Amino acid sequence: MPRKTYSTPSLPKELTREIAATIEGHPETGYSSVSDFCRDAVRRRLDEIKKEEGDKRFAHINVYDDHVTIADRDQVKFVNVYFKESGKPFCDLDETTDCDHVKYALHLPEVREAYKRKGLLLPPLSDKK
């Protein structure tokens, strides 16, 4: 990838050494470099923050056989997200498989359980890289 698409945040050398030692001591984690580790760690933290935001905005009401009902405090509405055989859940408000309601629904353990019960393929929690 061209360099122009990257930026270089700074880390204290001690932390960089600790990351390198951790990668070396734990090859099973699959990290190929300090950068690889940092990208994954930052992505996970961003996902946590998004999930916390979602937890404030949305409330999980109930899981049914083929959908989950979510209360959206921003829009003062109930939204249904339907489980689809094809993979990604479908939001009946936005009529899409890729909105904040779908992302919130996918983080709910009850929804992930329902997917497994129905034998449907679980979509990944977030897009990688």
Interface residues toward Zn ion, by CB under 5 A: 91, 93-94, 99, 101
For Zn ion, the closer of residues 88 and 101 by Cβ is 101
Cα distance between residue 44 and residue 49, in whole Å: 9
From the CB of 34, what's the least distance to Zn ion, in Å?
A: 38
| DSSP H or E run through 14 | helix 13-25
For Zn ion, the closer of residues 23 and 108 by Cβ is 108
Collapse the DSSP code of 126 into the 3-class scheme (helix H, G, I; strand E, B; otherwise coil) and give the result.
coil
Query: Given phi > 0 = left and psi -120 to 50 = alpha, else beta, which region is 70?
Result: beta
| DSSP H or E run through 48 | helix 34-57
From the CB of 6, what's the least distance to Zn ion, in Å?
A: 32
Q: 100-107 and 34-57 helices cross at what angle (nearest 10)?
A: 100
Q: What tokens were used for 101?
A: 């309601």
For Zn ion, the closer of residues 68 and 91 by Cβ is 91
For Zn ion, the closer of residues 37 and 90 by Cβ is 90
From the CB of 91, what's the least distance to Zn ion, in Å?
A: 3
From the CB of 81, what's the least distance to Zn ion, in Å?
A: 7
